[in-house]
Amino acid sequence: MSKKNKPVVEQELVNLEEKVASLVTVVEQLMKENRSLRAQQENLTMERAGLLEKHDQVRNRVDAIVTRLKSLESGI
Protein backbone atom coordinates (compact mmCIF):
# COMPACT_ATOMS: atom_id res chain seq x y z
CA MET A 1 0.00 0.00 0.00
CA SER A 2 1.40 3.38 -0.90
CA LYS A 3 1.80 6.18 1.59
CA LYS A 4 -0.68 8.25 -0.40
CA ASN A 5 -3.52 5.76 0.11
CA LYS A 6 -2.86 5.16 3.81
CA PRO A 7 -4.52 8.36 5.10
CA VAL A 8 -7.56 7.67 2.89
CA VAL A 9 -7.92 4.16 4.29
CA GLU A 10 -7.47 5.45 7.84
CA GLN A 11 -10.14 8.09 7.29
CA GLU A 12 -12.48 5.47 5.87
CA LEU A 13 -11.89 3.35 8.98
CA VAL A 14 -12.61 6.32 11.22
CA ASN A 15 -15.83 7.00 9.28
CA LEU A 16 -16.81 3.34 9.55
CA GLU A 17 -16.13 3.33 13.30
CA GLU A 18 -18.33 6.40 13.71
CA LYS A 19 -21.13 4.80 11.73
CA VAL A 20 -20.89 1.59 13.77
CA ALA A 21 -20.94 3.59 17.01
CA SER A 22 -23.99 5.47 15.77
CA LEU A 23 -25.74 2.22 14.86
CA VAL A 24 -24.95 0.75 18.28
CA THR A 25 -26.54 3.81 19.90
CA VAL A 26 -29.65 3.45 17.74
CA VAL A 27 -29.91 -0.27 18.55
CA GLU A 28 -29.61 0.44 22.28
CA GLN A 29 -32.35 3.09 22.06
CA LEU A 30 -34.61 0.74 20.12
CA MET A 31 -34.05 -2.06 22.63
CA LYS A 32 -34.92 0.29 25.50
CA GLU A 33 -38.05 1.46 23.67
CA ASN A 34 -39.00 -2.13 22.90
CA ARG A 35 -38.73 -3.11 26.58
CA SER A 36 -40.85 -0.12 27.53
CA LEU A 37 -43.50 -0.94 24.94
CA ARG A 38 -43.62 -4.59 26.02
CA ALA A 39 -44.12 -3.54 29.65
CA GLN A 40 -46.83 -1.10 28.59
CA GLN A 41 -48.53 -3.82 26.55
CA GLU A 42 -48.46 -6.19 29.51
CA ASN A 43 -49.97 -3.53 31.79
CA LEU A 44 -52.71 -2.77 29.27
CA THR A 45 -53.46 -6.47 28.85
CA MET A 46 -53.83 -6.85 32.61
CA GLU A 47 -56.00 -3.73 32.79
CA ARG A 48 -58.20 -5.05 29.97
CA ALA A 49 -58.65 -8.38 31.77
CA GLY A 50 -59.71 -6.53 34.93
CA LEU A 51 -62.17 -4.39 33.00
CA LEU A 52 -63.66 -7.44 31.28
CA GLU A 53 -64.13 -9.10 34.66
CA LYS A 54 -65.86 -6.00 36.05
CA HIS A 55 -68.02 -5.84 32.93
CA ASP A 56 -69.15 -9.42 33.47
CA GLN A 57 -69.93 -8.73 37.13
CA VAL A 58 -72.01 -5.67 36.25
CA ARG A 59 -73.84 -7.55 33.50
CA ASN A 60 -74.68 -10.36 35.93
CA ARG A 61 -75.96 -7.87 38.50
CA VAL A 62 -78.11 -6.10 35.89
CA ASP A 63 -79.48 -9.45 34.71
CA ALA A 64 -80.35 -10.34 38.31
CA ILE A 65 -82.10 -6.98 38.79
CA VAL A 66 -84.08 -7.45 35.56
CA THR A 67 -85.07 -10.95 36.66
CA ARG A 68 -86.26 -9.65 40.04
CA LEU A 69 -88.21 -6.85 38.40
CA LYS A 70 -89.91 -9.34 36.06
CA SER A 71 -90.82 -11.56 38.99
CA LEU A 72 -92.27 -8.57 40.84
CA GLU A 73 -94.30 -7.61 37.74
CA SER A 74 -95.75 -11.07 37.40
CA GLY A 75 -96.52 -11.17 41.13
CA ILE A 76 -98.55 -7.97 41.06
In 3D space, the residue among 32, 34, 30 whose CA is nearest the CA of residue 42 turns out to be 34
Length of the chain: 76
Q: What is the pLDDT of residue 74?
A: 87
Q: Rounded CA gap, 45 and 32, in Å?
A: 20
Q: What is the pLDDT of residue 16?
A: 97
Domain ranges in the chain?
A: 1-76
Q: What is the pLDDT of residue 4?
A: 66
pTM over 0.85: no
Dihedral sign for Cα 11, 13, 15, 21, please.
Answer: negative
* 11-70 pLDDT, tens digit each: 999 999 999 999 999 999 999 999 999 999 999 999 999 999 999 999 999 999 999 999
